[in-house]
Protein backbone atom coordinates (compact mmCIF):
# COMPACT_ATOMS: atom_id res chain seq x y z
CA UNK A 1 0.00 0.00 0.00
CA UNK A 2 2.76 2.45 0.86
CA UNK A 3 4.26 2.24 -2.65
CA UNK A 4 0.87 3.07 -4.25
CA UNK A 5 1.72 0.78 -7.19
CA UNK A 6 -1.77 -0.28 -8.30
CA UNK A 7 -0.65 -2.98 -10.81
CA UNK A 8 1.72 -4.53 -8.24
CA UNK A 9 -0.97 -4.43 -5.56
CA UNK A 10 -3.54 -6.06 -7.86
CA UNK A 11 -1.15 -8.94 -8.63
CA UNK A 12 -1.45 -10.01 -4.98
CA UNK A 13 -5.05 -11.16 -5.54
CA UNK A 14 -6.53 -14.25 -7.17
CA UNK A 15 -8.28 -13.49 -10.46
CA UNK A 16 -11.66 -14.24 -8.82
CA UNK A 17 -10.93 -12.56 -5.46
CA UNK A 18 -13.50 -10.51 -3.56
CA UNK A 19 -13.06 -7.36 -1.45
CA UNK A 20 -15.78 -6.06 0.84
CA UNK A 21 -15.52 -2.57 2.33
CA UNK A 22 -17.87 -1.41 5.07
CA UNK A 23 -17.84 1.48 7.49
CA UNK A 24 -17.26 5.18 7.08
CA UNK A 25 -15.30 5.41 3.81
CA UNK A 26 -17.39 7.78 1.67
CA UNK A 27 -18.47 6.41 -1.69
CA UNK A 28 -16.32 3.28 -1.44
CA UNK A 29 -18.42 0.81 0.57
CA UNK A 30 -19.50 -2.30 -1.26
CA UNK A 31 -18.31 -5.64 -2.59
CA UNK A 32 -15.80 -5.77 -5.44
CA UNK A 33 -15.20 -9.05 -7.28
CA UNK A 34 -12.60 -10.01 -9.84
CA UNK A 35 -9.12 -8.66 -10.53
CA UNK A 36 -10.22 -5.82 -12.88
CA UNK A 37 -12.70 -4.42 -10.33
CA UNK A 38 -10.18 -4.76 -7.51
CA UNK A 39 -7.61 -2.83 -9.54
CA UNK A 40 -10.19 -0.07 -10.15
CA UNK A 41 -11.02 0.03 -6.42
CA UNK A 42 -7.38 0.48 -5.42
CA UNK A 43 -6.84 3.05 -8.16
CA UNK A 44 -9.88 4.99 -6.96
CA UNK A 45 -8.74 4.88 -3.34
CA UNK A 46 -4.97 5.18 -2.99
CA UNK A 47 -4.42 6.29 -6.59
CA UNK A 48 -5.97 9.68 -5.81
CA UNK A 49 -3.46 10.46 -3.08
CA UNK A 50 -0.12 12.19 -3.53
CA UNK A 51 1.25 10.14 -0.63
CA UNK A 52 -0.08 7.30 1.49
CA UNK A 53 1.35 5.67 4.61
CA UNK A 54 0.36 3.19 7.30
CA UNK A 55 1.05 3.27 11.03
CA UNK A 56 0.04 1.42 14.20
CA UNK A 57 -0.01 -1.82 12.22
CA UNK A 58 -0.92 -5.05 14.00
CA UNK A 59 -1.33 -8.50 12.45
CA UNK A 60 -2.21 -11.96 13.64
CA UNK A 61 -1.73 -14.82 11.20
CA UNK A 62 -3.11 -18.36 11.24
CA UNK A 63 -2.28 -21.01 8.67
CA UNK A 64 -4.19 -24.22 8.07
CA UNK A 65 -3.11 -26.23 5.05
CA UNK A 66 -3.33 -24.10 1.91
CA UNK A 67 -5.26 -21.26 3.60
CA UNK A 68 -3.89 -18.43 5.73
CA UNK A 69 -6.01 -15.84 7.52
CA UNK A 70 -4.50 -12.48 8.43
CA UNK A 71 -6.41 -10.28 10.87
CA UNK A 72 -5.03 -6.77 11.07
CA UNK A 73 -5.63 -3.26 12.28
CA UNK A 74 -3.89 -0.14 11.07
CA UNK A 75 -4.14 3.61 10.71
CA UNK A 76 -3.47 5.42 7.48
CA UNK A 77 -2.52 8.95 6.47
CA UNK A 78 -2.58 10.48 3.03
CA UNK A 79 -2.71 13.77 1.18
CA UNK A 80 -4.92 14.76 -1.74
CA UNK A 81 -4.83 18.06 -3.60
CA UNK A 82 -8.66 17.97 -3.56
CA UNK A 83 -9.53 17.05 0.06
CA UNK A 84 -6.23 17.88 1.80
CA UNK A 85 -4.99 15.71 4.65
CA UNK A 86 -6.79 12.38 5.08
CA UNK A 87 -6.51 9.89 7.93
CA UNK A 88 -8.39 6.86 9.12
CA UNK A 89 -8.42 3.50 10.87
CA UNK A 90 -9.16 0.04 9.49
CA UNK A 91 -9.93 -3.42 10.88
CA UNK A 92 -9.17 -5.91 8.11
CA UNK A 93 -9.19 -9.61 7.39
CA UNK A 94 -7.42 -11.21 4.43
CA UNK A 95 -7.80 -14.84 3.43
CA UNK A 96 -4.85 -16.06 1.40
CA UNK A 97 -4.77 -19.26 -0.63
CA UNK A 98 -1.60 -21.04 -1.68
CA UNK A 99 -1.61 -21.13 -5.49
CA UNK A 100 1.40 -22.69 -7.17
CA UNK A 101 4.40 -21.12 -5.48
CA UNK A 102 2.54 -18.00 -4.29
CA UNK A 103 0.11 -16.93 -1.60
CA UNK A 104 -2.67 -14.84 -3.16
CA UNK A 105 -5.58 -13.03 -1.52
CA UNK A 106 -8.88 -14.80 -2.19
CA UNK A 107 -11.06 -12.66 0.07
CA UNK A 108 -10.51 -9.39 1.86
CA UNK A 109 -12.75 -7.41 4.20
CA UNK A 110 -12.14 -3.88 5.46
CA UNK A 111 -14.14 -2.19 8.17
CA UNK A 112 -13.14 1.48 8.00
CA UNK A 113 -13.87 2.65 11.53
CA UNK A 114 -12.56 6.21 11.12
CA UNK A 115 -12.17 8.37 8.01
CA UNK A 116 -11.38 12.10 8.11
CA UNK A 117 -10.77 14.56 5.29
CA UNK A 118 -9.43 18.07 5.86
CA UNK A 119 -11.78 19.53 3.20
CA UNK A 120 -14.63 17.03 2.74
CA UNK A 121 -16.31 16.99 -0.66
CA UNK A 122 -19.88 15.73 -0.59
The string of pLDDT tens digits covering residues 19-41 is 999 999 988 999 999 999 999 99
Quick one: which of 111, 108, 86, 88 has its CA closest to 97?
108
Report whether 96 contacts 70 (CB < 8 A).
yes
Report whether 13 contacts 32 (CB < 8 A).
no
pLDDT at 91: 98
Question: Residues 50-78: what's their mean pLDDT?
Answer: 96
- CA 93 to CA 109: how far, in whole Å? 5
Report the SS3 class of residue 27: coil
- CA 119 to CA 101: how far, in whole Å? 45
Local confidence band at 4 (pLDDT 50, 70, 90 cut-offs): confident
Local confidence band at 2 (pLDDT 50, 70, 90 cut-offs): low
pLDDT in tens, 67-120: 999 999 999 999 999 999 999 999 999 999 999 999 999 999 999 999 999 999
pLDDT at 73: 98
pLDDT at 122: 72
Amino acid sequence: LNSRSIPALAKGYRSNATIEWVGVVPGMTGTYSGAPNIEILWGSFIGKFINFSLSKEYQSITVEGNVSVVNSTFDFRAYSSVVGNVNGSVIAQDTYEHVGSSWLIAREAWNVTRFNEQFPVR
